[in-house]
Amino acid sequence: MLNTRREFLKQVARASALAALSSQMGLVYAMDPPLEQDGLSWQKAPCRFCGTGCGTMVGTKNGRVMAVQGDLQNPVNKGLLCAKGYHAGAALYGRDRLTTPLMRKGNKQVPISWDEAIDAIAKQIAKDPSNFSIYGSGQWTIPEGYTAMKFIKGGLGNNHIDPNARLCMASAVVGFITTFGVDEPSGCYDDLDECDTVITWGNNWAEMHPVLFSRVMNRRNNGEKINYIDLATRQTRSTKAADHYMEFVPQTDLAIANCICYQLLEKGTYDKDFVAKHVRFKDNEKKDLSIEEYKAFLAEYNIENTSKLSGLSKEQLKYLGDIFGDKNKKVLSLWCMGMNQHTRGTWINNLVYNVHLLSGKFGKPGSTPFSLTGQPSACGTCREVGTLAHALPGGRVVKNAEHRKQVEDVWQCKPGSINAKPGFHTISMFEAFAKGDLSSMWVQVTNPAQSIPNLHKNLANSDKRFLVVSDVYPTVTTRLANIVLPSALWVEKNGVVGNSERRTQQWFKMVDPPGDARDDVWQMLAVAHKLYEMGFAGMKNRNGKFLFHMEDENGKEIKSWDWNVYKTINTDKILFDEYRQLTLLKHKDIAPYDEYVKTRGMRWPVTEQNGRWVETKRRFVANDDPYVAEGRDIDIYMAKAGDKKAIAWARPYNAPPEVPDAKFPFWLCTGRVIEHWHTGTMTGRVKELKRAMPHAYVELHPEDARELGITDGDMVKIKSRRGSIILPAWVLGRGKPAKGSVFVPFFDETKLINEVTLDAYCPMSKEPDYKKCAVLVEKA
Amino acid sequence: MPITSLIIGTAPGESANVAQQLADVPYVTITDVKEDSIIVITDTPQSEDDKTCWDAFTGIPGVVSSDVIYHNFEDVEQ
Ligand code: SF4
C-alpha cells in the first residue's frame, strides 16, 4: 500500500512538473492525475516568505499541511517555487512552537492564561499610553498592520509604530516619493518577460528572488538573447549567469549612476522628447535646474574620474552609458537591499531613476526601473497601509490635518484623536527604549534582538523595560520579553498581503494553530477591548462604541475580542473592506475583499470598469493605468508641483560614514542566504534547510585568506568599533567578496553579526546601512 | 521521506550531458529530458537528504536553474 501511494505521489509530482513546464512555455495547463486525487484538500496561498509573492497550492489532510506545490495559475511564479517556498508548510511544524502565553517571573518565563496576558498588557499601556510603542513587520498581513496602526494612532493617539520594513525598503519609499510624488513602482513582473537587458544594482536575485531569476533564465534557455549585467561588490550565484560582472567600490554606485547620466547628456544620446515632456531637474536644495545646469553638475562624474573612484574600468562605464544610450535596448534595472541599505539610500534610488528617465527607459514593456522588496507584505502592509511612524493609510501622513481628518472619519474616532507629530522611526525607537524614553513596546512578527544593527547599543536595557513579543517560535527577542504571546502562522489564519509588483493576494485559514496560539489581529483586538472595558477614552469611537466595532449583516455587534467568536468569523474581510475606503486618495485603489478570493491577486490601482474589477499592469502609462489623463502617454499624476513631471535630482557622491583604515582594514557586508528567511526563526526549524545551511560563516576573498593564513573552517574573529564575533571561514564558498572585504549572513541566532554592524542611516529614509562598515579580520 | 519534483534548467544543448550526470546523484529519478530542461523526482530516505541532493544539481556543469514544483512531506516529522 505504501509503495502504491508513493508511486502515485511520484506520478502527481511528475505531472505537476510537466504542467509547470508547459505553463512556462505559455502552453495550456493540463495535469493528469489532478491534484485532488492524492487525497489532500488543496487551496491557494501566497508563499509566506519573500516579497516576490509566489503563489503556492497547499495540500492539507487531518488538520495538517502535508504538501506544497507551486501554483500553476499564479502569474507571479507559474508553478515554480524556491527552496524556502516549498518548505513554507514544514516551517509550521518545528517541535518548539510557542503554544501558550508566557510571563517573566524572576529569571523564568512561566505559562499564564490569555486573560492574564491581555490584562497585564492593557494595564501597562493604560499607565503610560503616550510612551507605548509597536514594532511591527513587512510580514504582517494587511489586516494585521491595519489593526496595529488603528490601535496606536487612533486608539492611543501616539505614532510610535514602525515596521522592520524600515530596515529594508524605506529608501525605496522616499526615492519614489521624491522622484514621482508617490510611492511604489510603475513596472511589474511582466517586464521580466519583455526586457532584453537586465542590470542588477547590488542584488543577488538568484538567491534572494530566485523565482524571478528563473523567469528570466528560462527565457534564455528557450533561446532568447538576454544580456545580464551584474553590478555588485561581491560575486554571487547571480554572477554565474551574468554576461558582465562589474565590481565597484562600496558606495560608489552613486557616482556610477551619475556617470551614466553624464554620458547620455555629453553624447546627446538621452531621450530628448521624453525628457522635455516628463522630466524636470532639481538640486539638493530643491532649486529648479535647467538641463545645462544639471549637465554642469554631472561634469565631475566623467568616465575618467568615475573609473578612479568606483574601480570600474573606463570600458565598463562606457558600456553602461552605451546600453542606456541605445534607443533600441529594453533595459530593466532591478535592486533591493544593496541600494536601499545605504547611508545615501534615497539618493541612489533617485539616481537610478535619473538614468531611466534620461534614457526614456521608463514605463515601456521590459524597459523600466523596478525596485524589488524583501518581505511578503512590505509593500501591502508597511507602504500601502502605512505602518510607518509618519504615515497613515493610502499614502497619507500624520502631519497633514486633512489626511488626519479623513482617517478619523473612516475610523469614527473623535476629531483630533490622531497625533500630528510623527513617532520614532526604528533606530530612534530602540534608542528611546534603551534610554527609557519609551516605557513599553509590543513586537509582532519580527525579531529585532537579532536584526537591528549595532545591537549592544540599541538593545541596552531592553530587558529592563516592558516588552511584549508575539511570535511563533522562541527567538533572541522573546527571551528578553516580559510577556510572550504565541501566534498563528501563515495558513493557520486568514491573510492578505501585497508584493513588489503592487499585487494584493488573499488566502483563507486552512489548519488550526497549535495549542493555544492565536492570530496577531485577535491579540491586538483583545487588548484594545480590555482598554475599552477599563474606560480608556481612546478605545471608544465618536459614538461611544468600541473603536473596532464590527457588525454582522443583521446589524448585531460581533464580539471580535472573544476568541471563541473571533475564530468563527472572518475579521480580515471586515478590516480589509474598511481599509479599502482609504486607498483611493493617491490612486492606490484596491478591490473589495471578495474579488481577491476569486483571483490569484490583482495589481493596483484596481478599478471597476463595466462591472468588472480591472487591475493595472503598468502605472502612469496610457492605455493601462485608468488615471492617466487623456492625450498623455505617461502621466506622473502625483507630481508635487502639479506639472505631471518626474524629478531628476542632482545628487552627488557622498562617502560612507565608516571606511576601512589601518585599525579596521576590511569592509563588512551582511545579508541573507537562499535557505533561510531573515533571522532563521522559521527556516531554522526545517531540518532540510537547517542541514543545508546550519550556521553562519564568514566569506573571504582567497587572496585575503591566504595573506591572513586562514583556510576553510578556521575560526575567524570579526571585530568592529562596536563589537566582535567568531565564525568559521568559508573561502570560495557560495560567493566571492571583493578583495579587502568579507561577507557574513545574519540568519544565525548563535552568531549575531549585528553586534558588529553600524547603525548609521540614510538621513532621508532613516534606513540603516548593513552593507558596509569597517572591521578587523583575524584568525581566532 | 519527502517526494519532490524539480525542473532543472540547462544551458542550450546541454540537457543530455546534464541528465547523464544527474543519473549518478542518489535518490534521483529522471522522468523527462527536454531540449533545455529535465524533470527530476527525488525520493529521499531522510528529509534532510533532499536539500543536499538538490544542492548537488546546481554544482553540475550546464545546470542553469533548479526550481521545485511539488513537495509532499506527509510522513515527515519535523
Ligand atoms: S521566491 Fe520568495 S515568494 Fe517565491 S517561493 Fe521563494 S521565498 Fe517564496
pLDDT in tens, A31-75: 444 456 678 899 999 999 999 999 999 999 999 999 888 898 999
Cα gap A489→A517, rounded to integer Å? 9
pLDDT of residue B51: 66
Chain A 536-575, residues with CB within 8 Å of chain B CB atoms = none
- Residue with the bigger pLDDT between A404 and A5: it is A404
Domain residue limits at A65: 2-93
Alpha-carbon distance A350 to A368, whole Å?
14
- In a 13 Å sphere around the CA of A205, the CA atoms on its Cβ side amount to 29
CB A388, CB A145: distance < 8 Å: no
Same domain? For A128 and A234 the reply is: no
Q: Is the pLDDT of residue B11 over 90?
A: no
Q: What is the DSSP string of A568-626?
A: TS-HHHHHHHHHHTTSTTTT-----HHHHHHSS-EESS-EEETTEEE--SSTTBTTT-T
A23-27, A375-379, A720-724, B27-31, range with the lowest pLDDT: A23-27
* Segment (H or E) for A498: strand A495-498
| B44 touches A: beta carbon within 8 Å | no
Say if residues A376 and A497 touch (Cβ distance below 8 Å): yes
How high is the pLDDT of residue A90?
A: 87
B58 confidence band (pLDDT: 50, 70, 90): confident
Residues A67 and A186 in one domain: no
Q: Is residue A747 part of a domain?
A: yes
- In CATH, what number is assigned to the domain containing residue A189? 3.40.228.10
What is the pLDDT of chain A when averaged over all its residues? 94
Mutate to test the interface with A, among B4, B72, B76 (most CBs of A within 10 A): B72
- Same domain (yes/no): A323, A366: yes
Return the pLDDT at B73. 80
Domains of chain B (ranges plus CATH)?
Answer: 3-72 (3.30.70.920)
Which residues does chain B have within 8 Å of residue A6's beta carbon, measured at their own beta carbons? 1, 3, 43
∠ CA A535-A537-A539, nearest 5°, is 90
Q: What is the pTM of this model?
A: 0.92
- Spell out a b/e string for A403-415, using b for 16 or more CB atoms within 10 Å of the CB, else e: bbebbbebbbbbe
A160 within some domain = no
Nearest residue, CB atoms, B41 vs list A13, A217, A223: A13
Would you state the pLDDT for residue B76?
60
Instruction: Indicate if A590 and A521 belong to the same structural domain.
Output: yes
Separation of alpha carbons A619 and A642, rounded Å? 17
**Signed CA dihedral, A410, A411, A412, A413: sign only:** negative
Average pLDDT of the residues in A532-549: 97
pLDDT value of position A765: 97
pLDDT band at B47 (very low <50, low <70, confident <90, very high): low
Contacting residues for A755 by C-beta, under 8 A, at least 6 apart: A454, A455, A456, A722, A723, A724, A725
Q: How far apart are CA A467 and CA A350, in angstroms?
A: 37
Question: Which triple of cell numbers denotes residue A629?
Answer: 489623463
Residue A36: per-residue pLDDT: 60
- Selected residue with higher pLDDT from A343 and B7: A343
Residue A777 has which C-alpha cell?
579580520
CB nearest B69 (choices: A70, A687, A691): A70
Residue A465 DSSP SS3:
coil
The reported pLDDT for the residue numbered B77 is 54
Residues A7 and A40 in one domain: yes
The span from the CA of A280 to the CA of A354, in Å, is 10
Shortest CB distance from A16 goes to which of B48, B52, B69? B69
Q: Is residue A724 pLDDT above 80, yes or no?
A: yes
The Cα–Cα gap between A163 and B32 comes to 46
Residue A746 counted as domain residue:
yes
pLDDT per residue over A755-768, tens digit each? 999 999 999 999 99
Catalytic amino acids of A? 84, 168-169, 337, 374-375
Read off φ and ψ for residue B76, nearest 5 degrees.
-100, 130
Q: Exposed, middle or buried by CB within 10 Å (0-12, 13-18, 19+), for A7?
A: exposed
Residue A254 sits in the same domain as residue A124? no
Residues contacting residue A185 through CB under 8 Å, at least 6 positions apart: A176, A368, A369, A370, A371, A500, A501, A502, A619
Paired sense of beta strands A64-70 and A55-61, if any: antiparallel
Task: Compute, in angstroms, the gap from residue A92 CA to the centroid of ligand 1.
Answer: 16
* Closest C-alpha among B58, B56, B68, B11 to residue B35: B11
A489 and A510, same structural domain? yes
Say which CATH number the domain at A41 has. Answer: 3.30.200.210
Weakest mean pLDDT among A440-449, A558-567, B42-51: B42-51
* Any domain includes A775: yes
Interface of B with A in 19-38 (CB under 8 A): 29, 31-32, 34, 36-37
Asked if B78 lies within 8 A of A6 by C-beta distance, the reply is no
pLDDT digits (tens, 9 = 90+) for A681-717: 998 888 777 877 889 999 999 999 999 999 999 999 9
Question: What pLDDT sits at residue A1?
Answer: 43
Please check the confidence at residue B66 and state whether its pLDDT lies above 90: no
Q: How confident is the model at residue B48 (pLDDT cuts 50, 70, 90)?
A: low
Q: What is the DSSP letter of A356?
A: H
Report chain B residues whose CB lies below 8 A from the CB of A18: 32, 39
Residues of chain A with pLDDT > 90, as a percent, come to 86
Residue B64 has pLDDT above 90, yes or no: no
According to the model, what pLDDT value does residue A183 have?
95
Determine the average pLDDT of the residues in A411-423: 97
Q: Write down the pLDDT at residue A35.
A: 58
Burial A722-736 (b: 16+ CB within 10 A, else e): bbebebebbbeebbb
In a domain, A17, yes or no: yes
A358 domain residue, yes or no: yes
> Which whole number is the average pLDDT over A587-607?
98
Closest-CA residue to A101 (of A449, A479, A517): A517
Point out the domain boundary residue: A543, A568, A597. A597
At residue A658, the pLDDT reads: 97
Residues A395, A367, single domain; the answer is no
Interface with chain A: mutation pick from B71, B73, B75, B76, highest number of A CBs within 10 Å = B71
- How far, rounded to the nearest angstrom, does the alpha carbon of residue A405 sit from its chain's CA centroid? 29
**HEC-encoded secondary structure of A674-696:** CCCCCCCCCHHHCHHHHHHCCCC
**Closest Cα to residue A163, out of A131, A132, A135, A133?**
A135
| Residue A364 falls inside a structural domain | yes
pLDDT on residue A30: 39
What is the distance in angstroms between the Cα of A69 and the nearest Cα belonging to chain B?
4
Pair A318, A253 in one domain: yes
- B4/A9 Cα distance (integer angstroms): 9
- Length of chain B in terms of residues written: 78
Q: Are residues A131 and A216 in the same domain?
A: no
Report the alpha-carbon angle A226-A229-A235, nearest 5.
Answer: 125
Assigned domain for A162 exists: no
Residue A239 has pLDDT above 70, yes or no: yes
Residue A105: how many CB atoms within 10 A of its CB?
A: 10
What's A703's domain CATH number?
2.40.40.20
- Reported as a pLDDT band with limits 50, 70 and 90, residue B49 is low
- Give the mutation target among A44, A48, A54 for probing the ligand 1 site: most ligand atoms within 8 A of CB: A54
ipTM of the modeled complex: 0.93
Mean pLDDT, rounded, for A475-480: 95
Return phi, psi of residue A65, to 5°.
-75, 125
Instruction: List the beta strands (DSSP E) in A40-82.
Output: 41-46, 55-61, 64-70
Domain count, chain A: 4
Whether residues A142 and A196 share a domain: the answer is no
Cβ–Cβ gap A13/B29 under 8 Å: no
Give the other-Cβ count within 10 Å of A745's Cβ. 23
Residues A186 and A145 in one domain: no
Q: Does A226 touch chain B (CB under 8 A)?
A: no
Q: Determine how many CB atoms are found less than 10 A away from the CB of residue A32.
A: 10
CA atoms of A426 and A139, how far apart (whole Å): 16
Instruction: Examine the pLDDT at A474 and tell me if it is beyond 60.
Output: yes
Q: What is the DSSP letter of A377?
A: T
